[in-house]
Structure 1
């Protein structure tokens, strides 16, 4: 994928955020404030100090909005859903350097809440993906018992499993065993 580091990082953050949802087949990765803090630290979300119950409920709602973008049946629906998400966000682009990272753009307004920060940065990254005509890279795992989402970064857009070591390997082994029985 010909996208810069910041966009790839933001898309990976969006994937991880969505995959913390019980709707993707696992436990709630944002079950409490400790889970939210772990997410913020794992993705090095800048400018986040104290987290409260309001942050947790807002980020959970944002997670579900991003999930709806990933699972949109077509690009037009994804655009509508992403525009709805972005319309609720104050976007104020500015160049910044911090924490050893090179010059990059932040899209969230100064003093924004964690939810607005994530909605702006992750939403703009997804918007760029749609503008580049790469909507089909937003995928849901093809394994029958997995609902996790991912961004297909393969050159030929052929990835179908969220993780080749788990779902991909499991499905390939099952296909191999089925062929051997036949």
Structure 2
């Protein structure tokens, strides 16, 4: 399952097939439009160079925090303060609405800019931790991928961002490594038949 915060982190793409290629999409207008539309957020496109630099720094720190959570660790006091500083960039106001005859109270952004977007990303990440879901944060086991994802499986045992891509690739790599090792040892599994 993709979340607001994992989609933001994964704007730094790495070729999961192992070519070594990577792409930083956060500065691309195409990615900015995709991200804002997907998560129903508002900000000017293209983002200016200073905001892009700030978003990259935040993304890298959030990736580090996610990796630590994926290993079972928690956030330090300093990291919480970093997140609070990002939250301060995006003030909100309360708004009462009525939907289908039901009264709701929600938070509405005061501004529509990239700093507000980063605050929403930080809030979504913190909400995951508050809800006790830090144990569902994962980093793909494919070392070439680095994709961060939220494990929504019942047994919380998902290892790969996508079973059909990274999962299959790693299965093939393990099979080939096993066959190579058998060949190096002079083993012939066909002769056992």
Scaled by the length of structure 2, what TM-score is found? Answer: 0.67
Structure showing greater Rg: 2
Aligned to 2:28: 32
Aligned to 1:88: 86
Structure 2 gaps, min length 5: 16-20, 98-103, 183-193
1:7-64, Cα deviation, whole Å (9 max, x unpaired): x7xx62211211112579721112334432333233332x334543143233222222
2:39 is the alignment partner of 1:48: no
CA displacement at 1:112 relative to structure 2 = 4.8
CA distance in 1, matches of 2:24, 2:96: 33
CA distance in 2, matches of 1:19, 1:29: 9
Cα distance change, pair 85–161 in 1 and its aligned pair in 2 (3 A):
same
2:138 is the alignment partner of 1:139: yes
Aligned to 2:4: 13
CA displacement at 1:161 relative to structure 2 = 0.7
2:105 is the alignment partner of 1:114: no
CA distance in 1, matches of 2:38, 2:46: 15
CA distance in 2, matches of 1:104, 1:40: 23
Q: Alignment length, in residue pairs?
A: 166
Structure 1 gaps, min length 5: 1-7, 98-102
CA distance in 2, matches of 1:27, 1:94: 38
Aligned to 2:189: none
Q: Which has the higher contact order (CA 8 A, sep 6+)?
A: 2
Cα distance change, pair 23–62 in 1 and its aligned pair in 2 (3 A):
farther
CA distance in 1, matches of 2:168, 2:58: 31
